[in-house]
Chain A
């Protein structure tokens, strides 16, 4: 186990560089999530002295501690003035800490208000999500809802932290019972047994630190790793097997400087003549990898795919032989196609036909409800198109995992819908494509984001049952 104190010198100049790991936390009211986040930050020494002093002063002012004394760790994540005044958490907050193996980005998602909106937001970029359960309460309806959302969003790793294990006297039987309940819910959802996600259960006491950073002596019956150890060793989404998929590259813009070369590059010896007709397509690889010499297809809505060869992968003066997600690069092609923002470059022969009929699950994130016949914008990759909501096909009861009939979707609902797009898009099933299967639904009137969309297969195509909500 390593902590940030070891990062100070050695690991920065010697050994391997750290890698990035993104995770989110989700919990219900009073299950100790803020304390757990505070504990992770505190014990990994991510909290600096002045912040700690401020928290200690506030803890004392509020009479925190009683017999235990010390500081209220939950205050470490206390956010905005409005939140402090009202004692609530308004929004997803991002926190940062590091060990000598990894740098962590933590999306701290409030649980009690707009839990679906916050969980969907935090989970959309997360490699793992930590769901909290109060050991005294066990699996609640809220827990089932959280796990259901995480399954839908295909979060690679779900870690259930059974918190307040100190308040049940470190009882193994209590933990085992909750663990069995969690696994049962997981089986109902396909979570942890579908080859895409996994599900882990860890007993912790956020207040005292048991099994948070270090393994606890007080849970001798638990032989697994502490929470931070889990987070340090799980593979990130972009190093999983499932990620080694076919190359996908939504074109963000065309780099074509013509006369306007960067003066600093010219001063450093750039061959002005050679770069006069430079033309490359800039973007971030969303999936898979690409090598110079690879055959690729350029997908332009409304046109047949055009096949060509990659002749160069450039990054700020460096020529790369190959690149992989999530690298941002600029790609040069053998033929001078007319390629523009919104087009996708993909490994040749791996993309099915673009479609103007979009079947999707929608996580509705706006107080304005969805209605059939509504006109919206769909943002997919680097392209935004108009769309018409043809019908709503029902919504998911997150507690029972059953589908119920619905003709509208309201804030925090998750449902099915069919949309007709003004131009075809290279849509892919979210089940296997967490980037090219995702889209935003945007309100054309005020520009606000209405929903997170997950592409499903067309009815009639082979469809994975686990995904048919």
Chain B
């Protein structure tokens, strides 16, 4: 059996027993434990994968959890139709590299069929809920992994790692199961499903330090690059097919990067000269704005924006 001690063995992750695990190793082990629990206890899990950094980290953790086997579940992407082209390209390459099945829920198709209406402000992030629930139902997914973190938002700060959703995908914050020790209760009845958040306890800085340590590839727009932008709502918006400046909004070229990657119509860039992951780690550690506050118009709508969307079945 010792033939498994093979050459491709790369960096040995902190095996030292005499010293404590680093916080990243502890978080990694916790996340892998949760991913394995869900795979063991549910019939048909899927992983929400947008090409955003949190979902990329989730997928990386899943590959580690089942090594040398394949990741034993499909990935699900809710495509707003307003995605950055380089993110879609990254998504497709990743799925190919890991040999995964990709399920796409399309906001555009729902709009074309008249089952969803375009919003006045043009943003499509809130429209993702309907295609998401439809994909969950059509594919009979009983558990859906998400990359949600509790440090993102005060509604998420109160959500369980395994979060029970009813037939309508709704989250009921007043009726959550207590989560004790490392014993996760994923029991659900027909029609209910569970959202699983294995990286609940990670912060934005943890994510970036982990990306750096594990050398994880991300879509290029997370790093500083030159882009044509215009100012709107106190953010830099990219010029693109679905994101056009109004006559009074001047287009200029800036060196920017994205801290979150969402719908092109509501995600803003920040001015940055962080060209490498190490630069980003330093930038995030020194940042004075939360990532959602800095770059997401959809979370600025109201103080309870995330809470409202979660109750309606959002991620």
Encode contact with B along A3-29: 1 for CB under 8 Å, 0 otherwise.
000011100110001111000000000
Encode contact with B along A326-353: 1 for CB under 8 Å, 0 otherwise.
1110101010000001000000000000
Asked if A319 and B4 sit within 8 Å, CB to CB, the answer is yes
Query: How many whole Å from A307's CB to the nearest CB in chain B?
Result: 17
Residues of A within 8 A of B65 (CB): 282, 316, 328
CA distance A278 to B290 in the complex (A): 44
Residues of B within 8 A of A314 (CB): 4, 67
Is residue B117 within 8 Å, beta carbon to beta carbon, of the partner chain? no
Q: For residues 225 through 265 of chain A, which have their beta carbon under 8 Å from a beta carbon of chain B? A: 236, 238-239, 252-253, 255-257, 260-265
**Known contacts being A312-B2, A440-B185, is A80 close to B158, with CB within 8 Å?**
yes
**Known contacts being A9-B285, A51-B293, is A252 close to B63, with CB within 8 Å?**
no
Task: Determine, out of B18-26, B104-112, B123-131, B137-145, the stretch whose residues face the partner at the interface.
Answer: B18-26
CA distance A262 to B99 in the complex (A): 8
Asked if A317 and B304 sit within 8 Å, CB to CB, the answer is no
Query: How many whole Å from B146's CB to the nearest CB in chain A?
Result: 16
CA distance A255 to B63 in the complex (A): 12
Encode contact with B along A77-101: 1 for CB under 8 Å, 0 otherwise.
0111110000000111111101000
Residues of A within 8 A of B120 (CB): none
Is residue B183 within 8 Å, beta carbon to beta carbon, of the partner chain? yes
CA distance A314 to B69 in the complex (A): 13
Task: Determine, out of B28-36, B50-58, B81-89, B250-258, the stretch whose residues face the partner at the interface.
Answer: B28-36
CA distance A93 to B173 in the complex (A): 11
CA distance A121 to B293 in the complex (A): 30
CA distance A253 to B24 in the complex (A): 23
Query: How many whole Å from B14's CB to the nearest CB in chain A?
Result: 8
Number of residues of chain A lying within 8 A (CB) of chain B: 98
Chain A minimum-CB-distance residue to B278: A13
Query: How many whole Å from B65's CB to the nearest CB in chain A?
Result: 7
CA distance A13 to B277 in the complex (A): 13
Residues of B within 8 A of A20 (CB): 21, 23, 26-27
Asked if A257 and B20 sit within 8 Å, CB to CB, the answer is no
Task: Determine, out of A168-176, A192-200, A269-277, the stretch whose residues face the partner at the interface.
Answer: A269-277
Query: How many whole Å from B45's CB to the nearest CB in chain A?
Result: 12
Q: For residues 1 through 49 of chain B, which have their beta carbon under 8 Å from a beta carbon of chain A? A: 1-13, 15, 17, 20-30, 32-33, 36-37, 39-40
Asked if A80 and B67 sit within 8 Å, CB to CB, the answer is no
Query: How many whole Å from A387's CB to the nearest CB in chain B?
Result: 15
**Known contacts being A317-B9, A328-B33, is A82 close to B173, with CB within 8 Å?**
yes
Residues of B within 8 A of A139 (CB): none
Query: How many whole Å from B295's CB to the nearest CB in chain A?
Result: 11
Encode contact with B along A423-438: 1 for CB under 8 Å, 0 otherwise.
0000000000011001
Chain A minimum-CB-distance residue to B177: A449
Asked if A255 and B69 sit within 8 Å, CB to CB, the answer is yes
Number of residues of chain B lying within 8 A (CB) of chain A: 85
Query: How many whole Å from B172's CB to the nearest CB in chain A?
Result: 11
Is residue B101 within 8 Å, beta carbon to beta carbon, of the partner chain? no
Asked if B286 and A382 sit within 8 Å, CB to CB, the answer is no
Asked if A9 and B282 sit within 8 Å, CB to CB, the answer is yes
Residues of B within 8 A of A274 (CB): 3-4, 6
B7, B37, B151, B185 — which one has the most chain A CB atoms within 10 A of its CB? B185
CA distance A105 to B206 in the complex (A): 12
Asked if B307 and A81 sit within 8 Å, CB to CB, the answer is yes
Is residue B178 within 8 Å, beta carbon to beta carbon, of the partner chain? yes
Chain B minimum-CB-distance residue to A323: B15
Is residue A2 within 8 Å, beta carbon to beta carbon, of the partner chain? no
Q: Which of B22, B40, B70, B189 contacts A261 (CB 8 A)?
A: B70
**Further 16 A-B residue pairs, CB within 8 A, beyond A20-B23, A48-B290, A440-B185:** A9-B282, A13-B278, A48-B287, A49-B288, A93-B158, A96-B201, A120-B180, A253-B40, A262-B66, A264-B97, A312-B4, A320-B13, A326-B30, A328-B28, A328-B29, A328-B30
Chain B residues with CB under 8 Å of chain A are 1-13, 15, 17, 20-30, 32-33, 36-37, 39-40, 63-71, 97-99, 150-151, 154-155, 157-158, 173-174, 176-183, 185, 187-189, 200-201, 203, 205-206, 209, 278, 281-282, 285-290, 293-294, 303-304, 307-308
26 CB contacts below 8 A, A to B, read A17-B24, A19-B20, A19-B21, A48-B288, A51-B293, A79-B157, A81-B307, A94-B201, A121-B180, A262-B69, A262-B99, A263-B97, A264-B63, A270-B68, A275-B68, A289-B17, A314-B4, A317-B67, A322-B15, A323-B17, A327-B25, A328-B36, A379-B183, A438-B183, A440-B185, A447-B188
Give 4 closest A-B pairs by Cβ, nearest first: A447-B187, A257-B69, A17-B22, A316-B64
Chain A residues with CB under 8 Å of chain B are 7-9, 12-13, 17-20, 48-51, 54, 78-82, 90-96, 98, 102-103, 105, 117, 120-121, 124-125, 236, 238-239, 252-253, 255-257, 260-265, 267-271, 274-275, 278, 282-284, 286, 289, 311-312, 314-324, 326-328, 330, 332, 334, 341, 365, 377, 379-380, 382, 434-435, 438-440, 442, 446-449, 452
